[in-house]
Structure 1
Amino acid sequence: MIGAMAHVQGLGITSEKFVSHFIHDLRACLRATGTLPDWIIEDLEGLEDVIPPDVYQYLSDIKVNALRADMLINATRELCTLEWAEEPSTLVELSDVVEETISEFSLPDGFEIDLQMTKQSCTIPYQSFKYVLTELLTNACKHHGAAAGVVRVANIGTDGALHVADDGAGIPESYHGSIFDPFTSLKPRDVVEGSGLGLTIARRRVELWGGTLSIVHDPTCKGANFKMTFGDVT
């Protein structure tokens, strides 16, 4: 898809419009794939005693994979169009935006957030930052390795960076250099749902506002510790 985007302008269409049309038509196919199993199940109503149970499982698997494909398409579109829809940066109070993002985050049962924030002004794209922080919170809970845990969000003693750390299983050091690469995952997709592009998109968003996103070692952190920096901090 990305290779094709490099050539579409010669066809008299912008790359942005090409991606939009391509995604729209592909998602239409997937909507049908996700809906048809429901119609088949309706047609089989009353025949449960003669229809092998595996048939219903296969129909369910079709729906699940259609949803996964739709998730992947949405993430791919977002990654391909980040530069086109780049959000202007504004001066914000970091602790206020962090608290707002956390208040809107659907924290799984059993998890809690340890907020350690001090006043810090940053020039960042407001919604883009909230997206990145939400992705890091989601990642911390999803890959924690236990049904309960603590996620620490802090900018105290970090030289102006924001750290998002958890007390989970952590990320092996051998993966620290590749965890932001597309489709890198420590667990199979059928174990932990996801597009495989969440951290890739998050890092690219941070780079667009002039910051960095990395995973760093912290002896006080049992699990993974992500470090986000900002291009303009006061």
Structure 2
Amino acid sequence: MTADHTSSPAPARTAAPAAAGTPGDPPAAALTGTRLRGRATVQVWFNLVLAVMVLLVVVFAVIGARLLARNSQISDDLSGRVQPARVEGVRLQSALLDQETGVRGYVLTHSPQFLVPYTQGLAEEKQSVARLRPLISGNTRATADLKALQDSAARWRADYAEPLVEHARRGLPTASDSALLNGSKQAFDGIRALYAAEDTHLVADRQRSQSQLRHIEGERDAVFLAMLACFLAAALVLAMLLRQIVGRPLNRLRDGALRVAGGEFEGRIVPAGPADLRILAEAVEAMRDGLAGALAEARDQRGRLALQADELTTQAEELRRSNAELEQFAYVASHDLQEPLRKVASFCQLLEKRYRDKLDERGVQYIDFAVDGAKRMQILITDLLAFSRVGRTYDDRLPVRLDTVLDQALANLAGTLEESGAQVRRPAELPVTTGDRTLLTMVWQNLIGNAVKFRSPDGPPLITVESGTGPDGEHTFAVTDNGIGIPAEFSEKVFVIFQRLHSRDVYEGTGIGLAMCRKIIEHHGGRIAVDTSYTGGTRITFTLPATDIPNSEGAQP
């Protein structure tokens, strides 16, 4: 039906536009190609605007990259050279002041401890000069300032500091020391002036670098603002372009499509806008034309369908009445058939009891055959009646505790289990499902009863009941035994009604048990199958839908 439904209308829709045109009209493919060559598409306009935006991005990116590189260079120079150079200049001044203070203190007090600052100042001066030289390399003025400061300091030490220390060490008259101290002070004032000049030059270098940074940051901000303005302008142009060449044609096409969706199939949709939108509008127009033709055809078929619907309704009603009659007939027939069978079995037993001494061994055997056949026919009719009642007589949809159901099944099989010495292992707790308690009891009873019936002659039956949760949240169960097993090639046959793998002489029964289990499980929305991978006996697995009710609430006892 699917293939007929999709393929049959195609010729009518193809032929409809051809009938509306004239014999001289060009083909649709030729018209499409002509329009595409004569008009720009939406993609062309988009590509043009995007190309302009990409060009602007590239230009501003190059300018911004150069500004950022320059900014990074100046920042690195300021943080890595200019500022550390000024710090080292301060350390150099501190080292020279320590030398002058130490000399003056030693001359005035003749205490050797005042020579410690002088000695440390000499060492710190050398270290500071060694760190300062690479920082001001390439800066001619700073290099000249450092050289002048070093030369002046060396002259001060040679002319004043060292003679004063030597005089104090020898204990010479203080008058000469006073003269040397005055000269030392004047010479050191010259050193202070040189340091002030050097510091002024380093501060000027720092201010110049900071000014350059501010200038570059201003240029960078201007470039970013210009780029933002260009982007806004491009976005505005793109929005206007979309509104003009795309928005309006799309709105007209939308209005036409909504009219068609509302049932107005007569109004024609006029193509407009770029080439690709015109092609889309022509496709929608072709669809409208096809829908109009299909609608006309549907109207013609509506009358015939109405008559067919009336006939189907009558047939469905007749089928429901026939099913109800068949169900009633099956129920009555099963009871009516059992009565003569009971009579046949009873009179055969009476015949055997009264005339047993007058019958030979073969006659007694014939009577046993008749009684056994009547009993088996009664069992078969009872099983058929129970099979037909699944989903009709037993159809409760209530929460059921599977623990209680399994207990009931084991109680029904208590005699059989005790006689065979069977051992049943079960989980501590089974979940709650929604269904009919009687039917679910029949499932457990049939599966465990089969495990006992088809047991291995090597030992007593060991039956294991397992429970779990499937990938879809459903309850999963397995009944495993150590019996004779089911060959893989018969894993589906055992679920067919009246299909037996063994003769009645070996194992009694009607062959309806597993068929009944499948019908009950599928009636509850689950699945049942034989696990062919298990080789230690038989394992029957089945699923039941989960319920939101907890195990301790709302379930049937």
- Same fold by TM-score, threshold 0.5 exceeded? yes
**8 Å contact from structure 1 (residues 93, 121) kept in 2:** yes
Higher helix share: 2
Partner of residue 392, structure 2:
84
Partner of residue 14, structure 1:
325
Which SS does the other structure have where 1:103 is aligned? helix
- Quick one: which of 544, 548, 556 aligns to 1:230? 544
Q: One-letter code of the match for 1:152?
A: T
Which SS does the other structure have where 1:122 is aligned? strand
Q: One-letter code of the match for 2:483?
A: G
- CA gap of 1:17–1:96, structure 2 versus 1, over 3 A, is closer
Q: One-letter code of the match for 1:91?
A: P
Q: One-letter code of the match for 1:123?
A: T
d(CA) in 1 for partners of 2:470, 2:536: 17
**8 Å contact from structure 2 (residues 420, 452) kept in 1:** no
- Asked if residue 165 in structure 1 is aligned to residue 483 in structure 2, the reply is no
- Asked if residue 29 in structure 1 is aligned to residue 340 in structure 2, the reply is yes
Q: CA deviation at 1:27?
A: 0.9
**8 Å contact from structure 1 (residues 91, 123) kept in 2:** yes
Deviations 1:132-170 (A, max 9, x none): 100001111111232622011111577731111101111
Q: CA deviation at 1:99?
A: 3.2
Q: One-letter code of the match for 2:354?
A: D
- How does 1:14-163 map onto structure 2 within 5 Å? 14-44=325-355, 48=357, 50-106=358-414, 107=417, 108-146=419-457, 148-156=460-468, 160-163=475-478
Say which structure, 1 or 2, has more relative contact order (CA 8 Å, 6+ apart).
Answer: 1
- CA gap of 1:126–1:81, structure 2 versus 1, over 3 A, is closer
**8 Å contact from structure 1 (residues 117, 153) kept in 2:** no
- How does 1:136-215 map onto structure 2 within 5 Å? 136-146=447-457, 148-156=460-468, 160-215=475-530
Q: CA deviation at 1:81?
A: 2.8
- CA gap of 1:44–1:103, structure 2 versus 1, over 3 A, is closer
d(CA) in 1 for partners of 2:442, 2:427: 20
**8 Å contact from structure 2 (residues 497, 512) kept in 1:** yes
Q: CA deviation at 1:22?
A: 1.1
Deviations 1:184-221 (A, max 9, x none): 111112221111111111110111111111111354x6
**8 Å contact from structure 2 (residues 421, 460) kept in 1:** yes
Q: One-letter code of the match for 1:120?
A: P
- CA gap of 1:8–1:44, structure 2 versus 1, over 3 A, is farther
d(CA) in 1 for partners of 2:354, 2:345: 16
Which SS does the other structure have where 1:155 is aligned? strand
**8 Å contact from structure 1 (residues 16, 81) kept in 2:** no
Runs of 4+ more than 6 Å apart: none
Counting matched residue pairs gives: 224
Q: One-letter code of the match for 2:532?
A: H
Deviations 1:26-61 (A, max 9, x none): 11121111111122123315xx2x531111121111
Q: One-letter code of the match for 2:347?
A: L
**8 Å contact from structure 1 (residues 8, 18) kept in 2:** no
Higher strand share: 1
Structure 2 unmatched runs, 5+: 1-317, 549-557
**8 Å contact from structure 1 (residues 161, 230) kept in 2:** yes
Deviations 1:108-155 (A, max 9, x none): 422111113444222221111011100001111111232622011111
- CA gap of 1:232–1:162, structure 2 versus 1, over 3 A, is same
Structure 1 unmatched runs, 5+: 1-5
Partner of residue 3, structure 1:
none
Which SS does the other structure have where 1:222 is aligned? coil
Q: CA deviation at 1:13?
A: 6.9
Which SS does the other structure have where 2:499 is aligned? coil
Q: One-letter code of the match for 2:529?
A: S
**8 Å contact from structure 1 (residues 89, 126) kept in 2:** no
**8 Å contact from structure 2 (residues 480, 537) kept in 1:** yes
Q: CA deviation at 1:24?
A: 1.6
Q: CA deviation at 1:8?
A: 10
| TM-score using structure 2 length | 0.38
**8 Å contact from structure 2 (residues 394, 438) kept in 1:** no
**8 Å contact from structure 1 (residues 117, 155) kept in 2:** no
Q: One-letter code of the match for 1:51?
A: L
Which SS does the other structure have where 2:359 is aligned? coil
Superposed CA RMSD in Å reads: 2.5
Q: One-letter code of the match for 2:467?
A: N
**8 Å contact from structure 1 (residues 23, 73) kept in 2:** yes
**8 Å contact from structure 2 (residues 400, 436) kept in 1:** no
Which SS does the other structure have where 1:14 is aligned? helix
d(CA) in 2 for partners of 1:216, 1:81: 28
